Amino acid sequence: MTHANNFQRREVISAAAAAGALTLAGTPSMAAQPKAAKSKAKKARAITMWDFSWLERRWPGAGYEDWDRALDELAERGYDAVRIDAFPHFIAADGNREWTLIPCWNTQEWGSPARNTIKGVAPALHEFMRKCKVRGIKVALSSWFREATDDVRMNIKTPADLARVWQVTLDGIKKAGLLDTVLWVDVVNEWPGPRWCPYFQPPLDWGQWDDPRGLAYIKTAIEGLRLGYPELPILFSTMGTRSKQFGEVDITFLDAIEHHIWMAALNNGEFYNILKYEYELFDPVGYEKLQNGAEQLYRSKPEYWQGILTREIDIMADISRKLNKPLATTECWGLVDYKDYPLLNWNWIKDLCELGATRAAATGQWVAISTSNFCGPQFVGMWSDIAWHRRMTTAIKNAPLNPKLAQGKLWSRL
**What's residue 358's pLDDT?**
98
Residue 187 has pLDDT above 50, yes or no: yes
Peptide bond into 192 cis (omega under 30): yes
**What's residue 14's pLDDT?**
37
Q: Which of 361, 360, 403, 367 is nearest to 37 (CA)?
A: 403
Residue 10 has pLDDT above 80, yes or no: no
**What's residue 242's pLDDT?**
87
Residue 38 has pLDDT above 90, yes or no: no
- Per-residue HEC secondary structure of 380-400 comes to HHHHCCHHHHHHHHHHHHHCC
Distance CA 4, CA 248 (A): 44
Residue 27 has pLDDT above 70, yes or no: no
Cβ atoms 391, 17 nearer than 8 A:
yes
Q: Where are the domains of the chain?
A: 10-413
Identify the band that residue 257 occupies on the pLDDT scale cut at 50, 70 and 90: very high
- What does pTM read for this prediction? 0.90
Residue 9 has pLDDT above 50, yes or no: no
Average pLDDT over residues 76-102: 98
Average pLDDT, the chain: 91
Residue 12 has pLDDT above 80, yes or no: no
Distance CA 280, CA 106 (A): 10
Backbone angles phi, psi at 83, to 5 degrees: -110, 125
Q: Which of 6, 18, 110, 7 is nearest to 388 (CA)?
A: 18
Where residue 50 falls (left for φ over 0; alpha for ψ -120 to 50; beta otherwise) is alpha
The tens digit of pLDDT for each residue in 92-104 reads: 999 999 999 999 9
Residue 20 has pLDDT above 50, yes or no: no
Average pLDDT over residues 96-123: 98
Cβ atoms 206, 239 nearer than 8 A:
yes
Q: What CATH number labels 10-413?
A: 3.20.20.80
Residue type, 335: L
**What's residue 16's pLDDT?**
37
Q: Cβ neighbours of residue 337 under 8 Å, at least 6 residues apart?
A: 107, 108, 277, 279, 286, 290
Cβ atoms 184, 140 nearer than 8 A:
yes
**What's residue 31's pLDDT?**
35
Identify the band that residue 56 occupies on the pLDDT scale cut at 50, 70 and 90: very high
The tens digit of pLDDT for each residue in 296-337 reads: 999 999 999 999 999 999 999 999 999 999 999 999 999 999
